Amino acid sequence: MKFNYKLNFLIFSAFAISSIVLPNKVNSNINITVEESHSKQTSPSLNYLKKIPKNDYIIGAGDQLNIVISKDYPELTRTEVVDGEGTIYLNKLNRIFVEGLTISELNKLLNDAFDKYIKFPSPEVKVLKYRPISIFIDGEVDSPGLYTLDGAISVPYENSSKEENILSPSTNDINPGLNKFEFLADNNTKDLDLNKIETTTSSIYFPTIFDGIRQAGGFTAFSNISEIEVIRKNNLTNGGGYLKTTLNFENLMKNGDNSQNIRIYDEDTILVKKNNIPNSELLSKAIKSNINPRFINVNVLGRVKKPGYLSLSKSSTLNDAIRMAGGPQIIKGKIVFIRYKNDGTIDKRNFKYSKNSRRGSLRNPFLNNNDLIFIDENFFTVSAAVINSVTSPFTGLLSTYGLIKAVED
């Protein structure tokens, strides 16, 4: 018995020790693997330089192109603006059609076209000025529709010369809540000469999905920011037609992760899907991230103490607006809520006021810009008004009669 007891004890001890030691060995192996993998990722090969994007920029009317056919033939170098018909003029080739081509596609075609005129052509096409881009934004944004943005923005450096700073204020004057795109648009710097600034005093900023949605007034409480659909024109090499992808802005709103915030191109369509349940936290995050404006204007009328237009936080609800208007009067009727919806229809609701209604509910919705809130009369106030309008002529007569009677006495 003693022997069996000792044997069992030894077996149990060995099992316990192995249970503790083995996981430590596995974890150390995992850590080594992660470190080795990380070291490989930080040492890219020469093939990395060949990662030209398949969805390259597509040339269109209004783009200014610098075209170098060969460094051995500088007389062939031209700077041309693509005209309204999508054409440019080049020496030897005269008028050619370039609209709808990517930079890579145009380089290849020019190489083939000049091969019969010069030896060893090596075309290099560069966009000096990008045309304005037109995008369509639909779905759960404040103001869906067609918007035009600058194709590229020149962002001045702080150490530029005094003469150039006349057009480009110091970055110390920039509101940290504004992104570069908004700052330049608000300060009328759209006409800065990109040729002059690009290599000396500025960097180039390209508008992104964030800028497009911001231009449309930002998200609503029902926006599904994990499903933002983007439809884009495909290039000719890849078969033409259109491409479609779905972006997730969750990490952008929470952590500032810009990996999903891709550049937008001309003729892009952005569709923000809708959630069935309002997200009470989304508007607050949207305001903090500067994709939504901080304030909206609503009109509160009827039986409130301070009727009129109010400027409220974007995350405000109907009850917040009524409180800001001084609160409802003691004797009040139902609330009439009117909103012009994104699809052109009108959302009209009639309900009884309840100060305890849940935020975002049917009786206490999150507000949009230009919403109308009217607190109606009730039975007693209407009755009093009717009695007053009916008896007011007689009140005047009785007062006059009483005055005459007093004089006679």
Q: Where are the domains of the chain?
A: 64-129, 133-287, 295-377
CA distances from 157 to 100, 129, 181, 198, 200 (A): 33, 19, 14, 10, 9
What is the C-alpha to C-alpha distance for residues 282 and 219, in angstroms, rounded to an integer? 8
User: Which has more confidence, 314 or 323?
Assistant: 323
Chain centre to alpha carbon of residue 375 = 34
**Is 207 exposed, middle or buried (CB count within 10 Å of its CB: 0-12, 13-18, 19+)?**
buried
pLDDT surpasses 70 at 296: yes
What is the C-alpha to C-alpha distance for residues 249 and 227, in angstroms, rounded to an integer? 8
Residue 408 confidence (pLDDT): 55
pLDDT (tens digit per residue) in 168-218 = 333 333 333 333 333 333 433 344 444 443 444 557 889 999 999 999 999
Say what the pTM is. Answer: 0.65
Asked if residue 124 lies in contact with residue 77, where contact means CB atoms within 8 angstroms, the answer is no
Instruction: Please state the φ and ψ torsions of residue 218, each to the nearest 5 degrees.
Output: 90, -175
Instruction: Please tell me if the domain spanning 64-129 has the same topology as the one spanning 295-377.
Output: no
pLDDT (tens digit per residue) in 228-278 = 999 999 999 888 899 999 999 988 888 888 889 999 999 999 999 999 888
DSSP symbol at 294? S
**Taking Cα atoms as reference points, which of 177, 179, 157 lies closest to residue 168?**
157
pLDDT surpasses 80 at 40: no
Asked if residue 192 lies in contact with residue 160, where contact means CB atoms within 8 angstroms, the answer is no
CA distances from 389 to 383, 386, 394, 398 (A): 10, 5, 10, 15
> Residue 4: CA atoms inside 13 Å, Cβ hemisphere, count?
1
What is the C-alpha to C-alpha distance for residues 52 and 310, in angstroms, rounded to an integer? 51
Asked if residue 121 lies in contact with residue 111, where contact means CB atoms within 8 angstroms, the answer is yes
pLDDT surpasses 70 at 321: yes
> Residue 125: CA atoms inside 13 Å, Cβ hemisphere, count?
24
Domain spanning 295-377 has what CATH number?
3.10.560.10
CATH of 64-129, one of 3.30.1600.10, 3.40.1190.20, 3.40.640.10, 3.30.1950.10: 3.30.1950.10
Length of the chain: 409
What is the C-alpha to C-alpha distance for residues 246 and 238, in angstroms, rounded to an integer? 20
What is the C-alpha to C-alpha distance for residues 409 and 399, in angstroms, rounded to an integer? 16
